[in-house]
Structure 1
Amino acid sequence: MPTKVRVRFAPSPTGPLHIGGVRTALFNYLFAKKHNGDFVLRIEDTDQNRYVKGAEDYIIEALNWCGIPFDEGPGKEGGFGPYRQSERKDLYKKYALQLIDQGNAYYAFDTPDTLDGHRKHHEAKGKTFIYNWHNRLKLTNSLSLSAEEVQTRLESGEPYVIRFKTPQDQLLELQDSIRGTIKIDTNVLDDKILFKSDGMPTYHLANIVDDHLMEISHVIRGEEWLPSLALHQLLYDSFGWKAPEFAHLPLIMKPVGKGKLSKRDGEKGGFPIFPLTWNESEGYREAGYFPEAVVNFLALLGWNPGTEQEIFDLASLINSFSLDRVNKSGARFDPEKTRWYNHHYLQQKSNESLASDFMPILSGHIEPDQIPDKAYVTSVVGLIKERADFTKDLWELGNFFFQAPTSYNEKAAKKQWKEGTSHLMTQVAQLISDTNDWSSSSLESNIKTWITDRELSFGKIMGPLRMLLVGDLKGPHLFDIIALLGKKESINRIESGIKALD
């Protein structure tokens, strides 16, 4: 391993960051921190036609929200900037011309219409048109034209591209930290475009030049870049540069069926696929996920620690992470597992912290003058959080702590409310009124003793009492509810419910 580990996450600002991109960033971050290295963010915006305003800010905000901030990048200048490729465009032409001078690249003047004609001609014969060694001398480029004609075309401003001259009859042996040795016959490769006459490089040239100049030691990226590995290695060889170590991560697959996870899968399944909301697509943050939960479930999509452990905070992920435990095959996305992780992290939150998060949700349901103090909300959260997956679930689980019931579950009421129930509930209200030691345990002891002394069944009292207080047969321990509601509110609810149900 090189003395200094430097990795980069290099997204294009063409829209929101897919959750698969977040995982790529996470794996880069974990690897860098494991080896006391640097995590670099580089914005690959050479394709200005696809540039989307706001996408770069979205990427940065998403990384920060996940708790995996970059060490160098836009706004965090290190010694290797600038970190936007559009601001580096003057660098690339010299390297493209160097390849031409070495005989590793050439000018090509073929028009799009001409190339389209070649493709159609090949398709008519059942073949695929590939621009490479077998036909490059028959096409319009600096290999088939005289030096004078090439110079004339360049001076006249004729559009051109610079193509890589892929070597013929070579068997490349490429190394990947995840996939091992990969063998490629160069005869099947096409002569990729490296540079265009508008002064902008293609991804391939800019990527290699920037990784070299930024001293990137490891390139950890998605497997969709695996077909580019041969060209990238050939470019490193042509420049005489040492290539970084490569690792191609497996795809994140659909929950059901074949293919990689898409925006449509999220819309269909009702789960996010972006870290933050983008236009109409809800993000994990806005859906109520904790960043720790997102990082934890993403880490285990395609990587395994070699143990049964499923819960990892960021520090333990950094300590445990290694590329040799990243899977080759795709990782199936499981929406229910993501909820499970969020439930776990919610349970780890303090009641005070959850109450702070819950207060804005509460204010959206009840009038400002009816919002109780933070101490009360904290107590409520402590009673109901066990069944919550998200902070927003707390309202559904505990709305009765903040609003007296105005209606009662019809099916439950029919089963619970019988002749004589109202008389018994009136007696329970009096018993509650007479209770001075106001605690859940004391209330429970008093009422259960009263039931036993009168040789009543517990079901005859507990169900109807819960109905009157809650409006339904739901909620935490009944006597915890009474203790928290207080004497006056509990009695009011019992009396109002008796009238309503009678």
Structure 2
Amino acid sequence: MTSTVRTRIAPSPTGFLHLGTARTALYSWAFARHHGGQFVLRIEDTDVARSTQDSVDQILASMQWLGLDCDEGPIYQMQRLDRYRAVVDQMLAAGTAYRCYCTPQELDAMKAAQEARGEKRRYDGTWRPEPGKVLPPIPAGVEPVIRFCNPTDGDVTWNDLVKGPITIGNREIDDLIILRADGVPTYNFAVVVDDWDMRITHVFRGDEHVNNTPWQINIFNALGAPLPLFGHVPVILGDDGQKLSKRRGAVSVTAYEEAGYLPEAMLNYLARLGWSHGDDELFTREQLVSWFDGSHLSKSPAQWDAAKLSWVNAHYVKTVDEARLATLVAQQFVRRGIAPPMDEVARRVALFKDRCATTVELADWLMPYFADVQPSPDDLATHVTEAVKPALQTLRDKLAGIEWNKAAINAAIKETIAAHGLKMPQLAHAVRVLVCGRAQTPSIDAVLELFPRETVRARLQGA
């Protein structure tokens, strides 16, 4: 790269940060980090009616959780209105923009007439200045919008970083509004001024923006501003084969945090959802930065796979530092209104983590240590039978006088089995159901060792 790479992510605070935007943010961040450049966070809050502070807070929390640190920002568009208006004034003076006094009703009538004639709906240029053209009288009481003088012939061509060469004819697009009557800029104009001012060199975004790009390129050219390189990544499809979006079943990034996923797992999974590095499925943040040079981005839509995400997350649950894992599990307990001592959680995570895909599952396994259990009637009927109940009382008595460690507990169980002529599963399943509330656990002696002795004996008394 001959100049400093600068990328950006520019979410709209009209809802949560969804997975598609999070993936685009990740690609933009990784590309900047790979090239030693800068990553900018911009909040596109010009949709005043729908933008909320709650959405801003959620976006910032999501970015922080994923570890996508920005070098500049957050920068808010609504704090830059004077800049947009100044650029509009320059364009009016240069003749690359003009005032349009058409009312909404006139525009609706215009488009209805075009539809009736079988024509494409578009602005017909009523107020566009042309040599020798007489414009209509300016109507009283109508605040004009500002429209861009889009070129009327020729093509817009760019070499997309993902899709390759794309060409769209200028005849396919019309004179879009760049400044509303209330002085607030529209998306396609504000994004150009922002990317120009912020010296953005590479723009990664969803391919729903492909049709916006010709307008933006033409505005860049009208301003004499350097063009960034554009890369439009395909959509993410949900289980139903439709685009995953805020309106179609997508959930927020922070919802995955609450559901017990680790940020490094989400980062790993999102990166592979439309990009590859050979056959590598699992990799660190550092490896991603090292590998992500903008190549190997897929041109095809990616399919969201909840099972694959769980598999990736299970890997990180097994390998993450246990002290950190205990902290995350403790946070899950707090969400349930339980506040166990951190050291008590930390003592137990190692025994159960290999069975779990999320920290929610791990908290479920640890719940019997910190809250009463309620075995199901079916488990009680199946495992705590009349044949086993005498052995449970014998074991309860034996546990009263032994050293409280795995070896001694194991010996007490074996002695009880021998005394009552039972098999290990008969007694072990019954003990699990009464003490843990479930019939399947890791080795029963290891599980019991982590309970207080009196908790175990009290639950066995329930037989």
Matched, 1:297 2:269: yes
After TM superposition, the structure 1 = structure 2 runs for residues 154-233 of structure 1, keeping only pairs within 5 Å, are 158-233=142-217
The one-letter amino acid of 1:67's match is G
Superposed CA deviations along residues 173-223 of structure 1, whole A, max 9, x for unmatched, are 221111110122222221212234433332222222221222111111111
Q: Is the 8 A contact 2:391 2:417 kept in 1?
A: no
**1:404 deviation in Å?**
6.1
Matched, 1:262 2:228: no
The one-letter amino acid of 1:128's match is K
Change (3 A) 1:430 1:168: closer
**1:247 deviation in Å?**
0.8
The one-letter amino acid of 1:477's match is S
Change (3 A) 1:84 1:458: closer
Cα separation, 2, equivalents of 1:264 and 1:117: 30
- In the alignment, what sits opposite 1:322? 293
Cα separation, 1, equivalents of 2:223 and 2:97: 11
- In the alignment, what sits opposite 2:87? 95
Cα separation, 1, equivalents of 2:267 and 2:184: 36
Q: Is the 8 A contact 1:351 1:379 kept in 2?
A: no
After TM superposition, the structure 1 = structure 2 runs for residues 60-75 of structure 1, keeping only pairs within 5 Å, are 60-74=60-74
Of the three residues 341, 355, 364, the one matched with 1:387 is 355
Once structures 1 and 2 are overlaid, which stretch shifts more, 169-178 or 85-94? 85-94
Matched, 1:42 2:13: no
Cα separation, 2, equivalents of 1:195 and 1:363: 48
Structure 2: gaps spanning 5 or more residues: none
Q: Is the 8 A contact 1:179 1:328 kept in 2?
A: yes
**1:243 deviation in Å?**
0.7
Q: Is the 8 A contact 2:149 2:175 kept in 1?
A: yes
Superposed CA deviations along residues 100-139 of structure 1, whole A, max 9, x for unmatched, are 44443333322222221121112222322322xxx53xx2
Q: Is the 8 A contact 1:161 1:197 kept in 2?
A: yes
Superposed CA deviations along residues 243-293 of structure 1, whole A, max 9, x for unmatched, are 1111112111122233x1134543xxxxx62123xxxxxx22333332222
After TM superposition, the structure 1 = structure 2 runs for residues 1-40 of structure 1, keeping only pairs within 5 Å, are 1-40=1-40
After TM superposition, the structure 1 = structure 2 runs for residues 110-121 of structure 1, keeping only pairs within 5 Å, are 110-121=102-113
- In the alignment, what sits opposite 1:275? 253
Cα separation, 1, equivalents of 2:337 and 2:106: 68
Superposed CA deviations along residues 373-418 of structure 1, whole A, max 9, x for unmatched, are 544432232222322333333343233334565x654444444455
After TM superposition, the structure 1 = structure 2 runs for residues 353-432 of structure 1, keeping only pairs within 5 Å, are 353-359=324-330, 361-362=332-333, 373-403=341-371, 408-417=375-384, 421-432=388-399
Matched, 1:480 2:454: no
- In the alignment, what sits opposite 1:280? none
The one-letter amino acid of 2:244's match is L
Q: Is the 8 A contact 1:164 1:193 kept in 2?
A: yes
Cα separation, 2, equivalents of 1:420 and 1:87: 76
Q: Is the 8 A contact 2:146 2:180 kept in 1?
A: yes
**1:442 deviation in Å?**
4.3
**1:37 deviation in Å?**
0.7
The one-letter amino acid of 2:80's match is R
**1:32 deviation in Å?**
0.8
Secondary structure, aligned partner of 1:230: helix
Cα separation, 1, equivalents of 2:70 and 2:91: 33
Change (3 A) 1:17 1:365: closer
Change (3 A) 1:94 1:316: same
Change (3 A) 1:92 1:421: closer
Superposed CA deviations along residues 414-443 of structure 1, whole A, max 9, x for unmatched, are 44455653444444445445544x432344
Change (3 A) 1:192 1:470: closer
Q: Is the 8 A contact 2:268 2:283 kept in 1?
A: yes
Cα separation, 1, equivalents of 2:18 and 2:352: 33
**1:467 deviation in Å?**
4.2
Cα separation, 2, equivalents of 1:471 and 1:197: 65
Q: Is the 8 A contact 1:107 1:142 kept in 2?
A: no
Matched, 1:142 2:129: yes
Cα separation, 2, equivalents of 1:317 and 1:325: 13
Change (3 A) 1:460 1:345: closer
Highest Rg: 1 or 2? 1
Once structures 1 and 2 are overlaid, which stretch shifts more, 165-174 or 414-423? 414-423
Cα separation, 2, equivalents of 1:440 and 1:59: 47
The one-letter amino acid of 2:108's match is D
Structure 1: gaps spanning 5 or more residues: 75-82, 267-271, 277-282
The one-letter amino acid of 2:348's match is V
- In the alignment, what sits opposite 1:105? 97
Q: Is the 8 A contact 1:92 1:206 kept in 2?
A: yes
Of the three residues 403, 417, 428, the one matched with 1:462 is 428
Cα separation, 2, equivalents of 1:314 and 1:12: 26
After TM superposition, the structure 1 = structure 2 runs for residues 306-321 of structure 1, keeping only pairs within 5 Å, are 306-307=278-279, 309-321=280-292
Q: How many residues align?
A: 463
- In the alignment, what sits opposite 2:406? 440
Cα separation, 1, equivalents of 2:85 and 2:401: 89
Secondary structure, aligned partner of 1:219: strand
Q: Is the 8 A contact 1:2 1:217 kept in 2?
A: no
**1:33 deviation in Å?**
0.8
Kindly, what percent of the aligned residue pairs are identical? Answer: 32
